[in-house]
Structure 1
Amino acid sequence: METLKIGSVSLTWLTGGVTNMDGGAMFGVVPKGLWSKKYPANEKNQIELPTDPIFIQMNGKNILVESGLGMGKLTEKQLRNYGVTKESELEASFELLGLTPEDIDYVLMTHLHFDHACGLTKYVDGTYISSFPNAKIITSQVEWDEMRRPNIRSKNTYWKENWEAIETQVVPFEEKWELEAITMVHTGSHSDGHSILLIEDEGEIAIHMADLMATHVHQNVLWVMAYDDYPMTSIAAKQKWLSLGLAKNAWFTFYHDAFYRAVKWDADGKQMVDSIKRKQ
């Protein structure tokens, strides 16, 4: 498992599943001739997109960022449509760390689309139960409201199977939520309730842009997904947070990138100067 240290805060990538989604949708109006040179597609025009949560250890607290695809949650049709080649292996990941899902204190959800939220619950003896029964689940109030009352577009990704069993654990926030070195900030954009994470400790910083910058190739502020509900908000948010991160020599971390767990760019954002590669 790949790891990154931000001061005294430890980040470790777990195995949460692998999807393969349409490359055109992932890059919106960007021509395939451009994006495919940087992030190759398969014969179905799909690109590989892991769904790997980040496990954070900080001052004795066990924190999970996102929850993976879950295991046994998707139908055969969904597995096919989403190009799933691997479901979650989170419990095995925790075992390697000497932990269990019951040891998780917080689950930080940047948003609640199915590919981030399916791992929040599991199906046991004919009913859905919480995967992390002792955790507080943190997400923005806007996201939590839409999860429970999706609109005609978002109902395809906000599923009751992913929230009904954990609603008593959810702690929603308005604009910002803080826990020691971690700050969650509501940005909107990809979804109306989307948030990002900032981790700052001992003069170091990591920014988890979540689906604002799903892969390292999405660093171009104009390269936004067709999946984004508010693409112009995505562009503005990327400009703001990329500029801040580049100015602070930040690590940028990923949930979906098939090639990198985290990268650093130079101050102009033109050259990658450091990286942690994803092991295949």
Structure 2
Amino acid sequence: MKRLALVKPVLVVAMLGVGSAQAAPDAASVLEASPIDDIVEQYPAMLSQGIREGLKQRGQVPPMVADTVGYVVSSSFSADKIEQQIITDLQAQLTDEQLQAVSEWYQTPVARKISSAEIAASAPEAWPQIQASAPELNRKYKGTPKAEMFDRFDRAARATESAVDTTIAVQLGLATAMSALSSESMHYEQLERRIENQRGMLRGVVGQQVYDSYLYTYDKISAQELALYLDFLESPAGKQFSQVVTSSIQQAIMEPVESIGRQISRFMAPPAGSE
């Protein structure tokens, strides 16, 4: 009797341990296992840099004003809010089985290697290196299996689609900033329609940039490793994960853009009674 009494609690603990090990991970832990949260951390700086450099290239405002606008833009976006949007949508739109499959993929050595490459390439300071190495990498990979995998990768990862959405957010933020700094103001809806009409043209330009980024990011990833990644992205779980993540990011980065003009107007307005 005493021996059975001792065995029973041990069995219960063992069964509880098995149950917890098999429980499906939640969306937050899946996002943490993936490189997405680290990449999203770069978004405020990336968007701010894009708008700031755009203003400076146009030469219509002093560099100090462009830097001030960049600061306002950076403070308008929150990586934490973007991540929370992704987590909420993943939890609502992926099944437990899909979350489990995504989690298991990102725990593999190949996934960890690929994730590290993606995080490094997503940093704003990596872009000059991507541009500089593009001609050489295009020549290096011309006609190779890795180059031929790009269209498959682009469809599965929704890479160009996501990049176009981000570019439109930057362009819209830039236009909103210019409108706020100009005496010729334009409603946000008008700016949005004008820039959305350029989506087809942007897709062609951005598509080449995405290809250059693809070659740079996966330069040290073998064709065999990349094929495993594509298998994951094309699986039901990987496909749903990519679709939800890109849609969530688009929604999260577009929402603050409308308010940028109002914030810049308030920030740049002269103090009361200064005139």
**Counting helix residues as a fraction of each chain, which structure ranks higher?**
2
- Range of TM-score over shorter length: under 0.3
**Counting strand residues as a fraction of each chain, which structure ranks higher?**
1
Instruction: State the TM-score, normalized to the length of structure 1.
Output: 0.27
Instruction: State the TM-score, normalized to the length of structure 2.
Output: 0.28
Question: Which of the two has higher C-alpha Rg?
Answer: 2
